[in-house]
Chains A and B, each alone.
Chain A
C-alpha cells in the first residue's frame, strides 16, 4: 500500500489526516516541520507528501525547494500543499517552490482520500 508523509506542525491536523488515511488502508508517516520531513525521507521514501505552509524552523515552501534539489528518487515525490492562503499568487508561489498541486484548507475527509488515491495511482 502506498505510504504518505504528512508534514504539518499541528498535531491534531496530523492525527485527523492519519486516522482518515489509515482507515482507507494508506500507510502514514508524520513530520512536524520541513527539517524533520527531509530527515525522514532520507531514511524511508514515500509515495506522496501532504505539506502545510506555515511551520516552525523550516516552512513548507523552503522544504519543497530543498526537496526538489535532492537526488532522485527523493526529489521526485509528488507533493500536495494544503494551506489557508487562497490567493492566485499563493498557488503560483507553491508551484514555483515545488508543489505539484495546491489545495486551500479546509480539506474534507473525502477530498483528502480523493487526493491520496489520485496521487498514489489507486484505481477509481
Chain B
C-alpha cells in the first residue's frame, strides 16, 4: 500500500469519528450551528480526499451528503431524524469501504451500486423533507430585506463607480421601484442611469436614488399605519437647521470658486473638486427640501381658532351662522400657517358683516335662516389652497363702483368701462371700504388690500369669485413650502439692496490705490486674479455721494462663471427673503432680479448680478 493511501486511511478514520460525533450532537440540538458546520466540513474533506486517491464512487456519495448539509445550512430543509439517519448510513458505508481499502488497497466491487443507493437516499430524503414540512425551515429563517433597504444599499455599492456598477445599481433600483408599482420613479431612474453611464459619473445616479429614498420617507406615513411616529421639536431648532442649510450653500459656492482656481493650476484635481461640488450642490438642494419639510403644520391649528370669533360675531350681529371646516389635515409650511390667521379672520369678518344678509332678508330670498361659512383647505400640486365661502348676498358690482367713485380710487370714465368682474376686484384696492357705517367688526381701516399684501408676502395670491344673490368665495393660493432666498443686504448710493448670498464669494476691503483703471472701467487684483470693480450706486444711477473712502468696501461675487466686485457704501445683514419677480415700473429694469417686502413694509430690491456687472 502506498504512503498516500495510508495517509488517506488515517485521516479518513479520524474524520469518520468526528462526523459521527457531530451528527449525534446535531440530532440532540438541531440548531447547533457548530455541529452542522463540522459535519459539513467532514463530508467536504472526505469528498476531496476520495477524489485525490481516485475512489470516484466514494467521492460521489460524499458529495451528495455534503450537498444535503449545504441545503440545511442554506435553510432549505430542517435537521430531523431522517436526515441524521441518512448521513450516519453514509458514514457506516465509509467505514466498511475503509476496511476493504485497508485489506485490498481498493474499494469493494459493489461500491458503485452502494454509492448510487446512498445518493438516491440522500436526494430522496431532501425531496421528502421539502414536501413534508417546508414551513419548519421557513419560519426559522429571516425574511428578505425591504425594497427600500436594498435601494439604499445601492448608494454604498455605487461608491467605487465604473460602468458595471452604475448599470447594475441603476437596473436594480428601477426594478425595485417597479416592484413597488412606482413606474414613474422607475422610468426616471432608468433615464438617469443612462445619463450617468454616458458621463461616467456615479454621483448623478446616487443623487437620483437619494431623492427617491427621501420622497419615500416623506410618503411613508401615508402608506403605513395611520399613527405615524412624531417628534415634538422646538420651532427655533428647525429654523436653525434651515439657516445652517443656507450657510452650507455659501460654503458650497466657495468650493465652486476654488474649483475654478484649481483648474488653472492642476486640471486633474480641479475636475475632482468640481465633481464633488456638483454632488454637494444636489445634496444641499435635497437637504433644503428635507429641512423645509420638517416645518410643515396641519392647517387645523389655524382653523380651530375660528369657532369662537365666529360665534361671537354671530351673536353681536344677530346673524345665525354655522361654521364648517374641511381639510384641516392639509399641511403647509409653518411660515405660511403662522401668517394665515389674521388675513383669514379679516375675510371671515367681511363675510359675516357684509356678505351674510340679516335674517329677514334671507327669509325673503328663500334662503336657510342659518347662514353657512365654509373654511376649506386642500393641496393642489405645489400649492395649498384655502377658501372662505359664504352663502350671503355676494358682492354687488354697482355698489363697489359707487364706493370707488366716492373715494376717487378710479377715474369715472375708467370705472364705467370696467366689467363687473373688474369692478369687484376694486375691493382689493388700498383704502377701499363699502361699509356704510363703521361697525365693530369690519371697517377698521384694514381692508382687503391688507389681506392681499399679507398673502403675497409669502408668495401667494388671492382670488375672488362672487355670485350676486348666492354668495362669495375668497380663495388663497399659497405655496406649499416657502423657498426662501438668503440675501446679504448692502447700502449703495443711499439705498439698500439685496445680493443673493449664493452668488457671494467673499467681502474684502481694497485700498483705493490698488484699484486701477482698465479701459473705461476699474479693476483690482485679488490673489493674482484681476477682478472687475463696479460702483454699485453709480451703476444703478443713484450717484456716488461725497468723496470716496480710503478703502473700497467690495462684495466679490461669482455669477455666470465670472468673478466680479461690487463696491458698496456699507455691508448690511444677512436675511431670508421671499423673492418676488419685479413688476410694474421695475419690470424690465436691468440689474433687478426681483423684490421682496421687508417686515416694515418697505421694498428691498434684489440684484441680478449678471445684469449689474455688464
Chain A residue with the shortest CB-CB distance to B77: A16
Question: 17 A-B contacts, Cβ less than 8 Å apart?
Answer: A12-B70, A13-B71, A13-B74, A68-B168, A69-B162, A75-B164, A77-B171, A95-B157, A98-B165, A105-B75, A106-B73, A106-B75, A108-B137, A108-B142, A111-B143, A118-B176, A119-B175
Contacts A101-B153, A109-B138; A76 near B143 (Cβ below 8 A): no
Which listed residue, B130, B154, B165, B166, touches A16 by the CB 8 Å rule?
Answer: B130
Which listed residue, B126, B137, B168, touches A78 by the CB 8 Å rule?
Answer: B168
CB distance from B113 to the nearest CB of A (A): 21
Interface residues in A78-124 by Cβ distance below 8 A to B read: 78-79, 82, 84, 95-96, 98-101, 103-112, 114-115, 117-124
Which listed residue, A16, A103, A118, touches B147 by the CB 8 Å rule?
Answer: A118
Contacts A76-B168, A118-B179; A106 near B74 (Cβ below 8 A): yes
B364 contacts the other chain (CB 8 A): no
Contacts A10-B71, A100-B154, A101-B153; A16 near B180 (Cβ below 8 A): no
Q: Are A106 and B181 closer than 8 Å at their CB atoms?
A: no
Q: Chain A residues near B153: list those with CB within 8 A.
A: 95, 100-101
Count of CB-CB pairs between chains A and B under 8 Å:
145
Most chain B CB within a 10 A radius of its CB, from A79, A98, A100: A100
CB distance from A1 to the nearest CB of B (A): 14
Q: Are A108 and B178 closer than 8 Å at their CB atoms?
A: no
B167 contacts the other chain (CB 8 A): yes
B76 contacts the other chain (CB 8 A): yes
Most chain B CB within a 10 A radius of its CB, from A16, A79, A120: A16
Q: Are A68 and B130 closer than 8 Å at their CB atoms?
A: no
A51 contacts the other chain (CB 8 A): no
Q: Are B157 and A11 closer than 8 Å at their CB atoms?
A: no
Q: How far is the CA of A25 from the CA of B161 in the complex (A)?
A: 33
List residues of chain B with CB under 8 Å of any chain A CB: 63-64, 66-68, 70-71, 73-77, 123, 126, 130, 134, 137-138, 140-145, 147, 150, 153-154, 156-157, 160, 162-172, 174-181, 186, 197
Q: Are B76 and A121 closer than 8 Å at their CB atoms?
A: no
CB distance from A46 to the nearest CB of B (A): 12
Contacts A101-B150, A109-B138, A114-B144; A13 near B179 (Cβ below 8 A): no
Q: Chain A residues near B144: list those with CB within 8 A.
A: 103, 110-112, 114-115, 118
Q: Chain B residues near A123: list those with CB within 8 A.
A: 178-179, 181
Chain B residue with the shortest CB-CB distance to A106: B75
Which listed residue, A10, A15, A79, A119, touches B66 by the CB 8 Å rule?
Answer: A10
CB distance from B61 to the nearest CB of A (A): 13
Q: Chain A residues near B197: list those with CB within 8 A.
A: 72
Please classify how large the interface on chain A is, using the bins under 10, 10 to 19, 20 to 34, 35 or more.
Answer: 35 or more
Q: Are A107 and B167 closer than 8 Å at their CB atoms?
A: no
Chain B residue with the shortest CB-CB distance to A99: B157
Q: Chain B residues near A11: list those with CB within 8 A.
A: 63, 67
Q: How far is the CA of A122 from the CA of B150 in the complex (A)?
A: 15
Q: How far is the CA of A33 from the CA of B178 in the complex (A)?
A: 31
CB distance from B57 to the nearest CB of A (A): 17
Q: Are B150 and A108 closer than 8 Å at their CB atoms?
A: no
Q: Are A121 and B168 closer than 8 Å at their CB atoms?
A: no
Q: Chain A residues near B67: list those with CB within 8 A.
A: 10-13
Q: Chain A residues near B174: list those with CB within 8 A.
A: 121
Q: How far is the CA of A10 from the CA of B43 in the complex (A)?
A: 12
Q: Are A73 and B167 closer than 8 Å at their CB atoms?
A: yes
Chain B residue with the shortest CB-CB distance to A79: B168
Q: Are B76 and A111 closer than 8 Å at their CB atoms?
A: no
Q: A103-B144, A120-B175 are in contact. List 11 more A-B contacts (CB 8 A).
A: A72-B167, A98-B165, A103-B145, A104-B142, A105-B73, A106-B75, A108-B143, A111-B144, A114-B144, A118-B150, A119-B176
Q: Are A124 and B180 closer than 8 Å at their CB atoms?
A: yes
Q: Are B176 and A121 closer than 8 Å at their CB atoms?
A: yes
Q: Are A107 and B164 closer than 8 Å at their CB atoms?
A: no
Q: Chain A residues near B147: list those with CB within 8 A.
A: 118
Q: Are A10 and B179 closer than 8 Å at their CB atoms?
A: no
Chain A residue with the shortest CB-CB distance to B181: A123
Q: Chain B residues near A111: list those with CB within 8 A.
A: 141-144
Which listed residue, B126, B150, B169, touches A12 by the CB 8 Å rule?
Answer: B126
Q: Are B164 and A69 closer than 8 Å at their CB atoms?
A: yes
Q: How far is the CA of A68 from the CA of B169 in the complex (A)?
A: 11
A67 contacts the other chain (CB 8 A): yes
Q: How far is the CA of A115 from the CA of B143 in the complex (A)?
A: 10
Q: How far is the CA of A67 from the CA of B165 in the complex (A)?
A: 10
Q: Chain B residues near A16: list those with CB within 8 A.
A: 71, 74, 76-77, 126, 130
Q: Chain B residues near A57: list those with CB within 8 A.
A: none
Q: Are A96 and B160 closer than 8 Å at their CB atoms?
A: yes
Chain B residue with the shortest CB-CB distance to A74: B164
CB distance from A40 to the nearest CB of B (A): 17
Q: Are A110 and B154 closer than 8 Å at their CB atoms?
A: no
